[in-house]
Structure 1
């Protein structure tokens, strides 16, 4: 599981024996995500993400993953401030769900809530949200966390269906973003995919209607429009480099 979780270092199943005294502090510190330049997003997030991030399709073109680009320089996240604060308006749910995550379903369909035991926001003393009460029962906070994770997982499954439809209809093509560093060096970011506008226009009526009724056409147009955010992202990276 850890290989799929980017910044999760030591995910462990949440249980009262191990986490009976664990507290979660809301510090507003997103430093844990400073080393990633992209994260997956759900279809329900496209409208909010398209306003400030480039949305692309990453991974295998036969099983693409909708993602937002957060940086252009290697594995650096351009939306993390010096104090770990988030510099954008919207924080993707993949990041907001940290330090919690649901495991993959087993053969019985059961999922288990995990927490990154190495997360800096965890403590056993002081102020914070408890996971379990004195009797070892989940607190309302933990129940809320579980609901959020379950909702996220449901959105993730819907998003997978959308991305798979794009792949099955062969609508994706390789994409690259060209930008210039503050020193004048020209660079290219590649390894992701975008929807081919011409192939989209050539869709059969039945396929186009199905995508329209599933709100998948809306997601597709938001994705295409979000490409304009590469310029703002390049400017953000340049300004950060100059300040450094």
Structure 2
């Protein structure tokens, strides 16, 4: 559960915030929003698709085979891919819109990352926002600006008929699993665009988005591998819990940075 509140001097003037020690907060996210600007890095290790949001489409990182499951987070909170989506790098902060349409900075007070005595201050002694908060605000403003650009790019891809359903079947712990609700670029339609249509997609920035999505699909099989690795790790954990203390094994190797990592 999350509990976001607008950051104010009255509410947070004497508090501090802590940086997350890992990514357990994202463990239930099978999908994560991606911005156009980050796709060239995300495509190197993450499968990318589109989801429908109302009548629009937005790119997402595909992180799990079922709802509520993020295979890219290890049991100890480590992120298992070489790229971390910007959506997570701003946590526990996010931007929200007021009734007047203004953007305000919020923090998740249920994150466990607020403190009365240690960490980064929200405000300086003069009551002005601390430098660390201003840096977070600037980062989130950049994300929001790129989100609007991403929407415009996806609108052009949609107008040209380049987004189609993506039926996915992957090999998981319990055999083949179907992943529904995702979309992908129609490569045949992309190659068949007229000169004028291709120029419109190119000028909007859509070619980069299209090719990043197509190239990223090669990483989909990694999710099946990770699902099996998570299942094996859970079996070992449960077996360990059932043993008497003198018979337990040292599983410290499962916290090594290379275990179950990819990208």
Per the TM superposition, whether the score is higher than 0.5 is yes
Query: 2: CA distance between counterparts of 1:235 and 1:190?
Result: 19
Aligned residue number for residue 256 of structure 2: none
Query: 1: CA distance between counterparts of 2:168 and 2:98?
Result: 36
Query: 1: CA distance between counterparts of 2:41 and 2:55?
Result: 26
Question: Aligned-pair distance for 1:241?
Answer: 1.0
Query: 1: CA distance between counterparts of 2:62 and 2:216?
Result: 10
Query: 1: CA distance between counterparts of 2:197 and 2:29?
Result: 35
Unaligned runs of 5+ in 2: 235-263
Question: Aligned-pair distance for 1:22?
Answer: 2.3
Moved over 4 A (4+): none
Correspondence 1:64-79 to 2 at 5 A: 64-79=57-72
Quick check: 1:229 aligned with 2:222?
no
Query: 2: CA distance between counterparts of 1:206 and 1:61?
Result: 28
Aligned residue number for residue 113 of structure 2: 121
Quick check: 1:189 aligned with 2:182?
no
Greater Rg over alpha carbons, structure: 2
Aligned residue number for residue 217 of structure 1: 207
Query: 2: CA distance between counterparts of 1:82 and 1:239?
Result: 11
Query: 2: CA distance between counterparts of 1:133 and 1:161?
Result: 38
Query: 1: CA distance between counterparts of 2:225 and 2:16?
Result: 39
Question: Aligned-pair distance for 1:105?
Answer: 6.2
Question: Aligned-pair distance for 1:212?
Answer: 2.0
Aligned residue number for residue 4 of structure 1: none
Question: Aligned-pair distance for 1:59?
Answer: 2.1
Give 1:179's match in structure 2, choosing from 158, 163, 170: 170
Aligned residue number for residue 41 of structure 2: 48
Q: Secondary structure at the match of 1:170?
A: coil
Q: Deviations over 1:16-46 (max 9, x none)?
A: 1101122222242211111111111000111
Contact 1:31 1:84 in 2 (8 A): yes
Q: Deviations over 1:187-220 (max 9, x none)?
A: 1111111111111122221221132234320121
| Number of positions where the alignment pairs a residue of Structure 1 with one of Structure 2 | 234
Q: Secondary structure at the match of 1:218?
A: helix
Aligned residue number for residue 158 of structure 2: 167
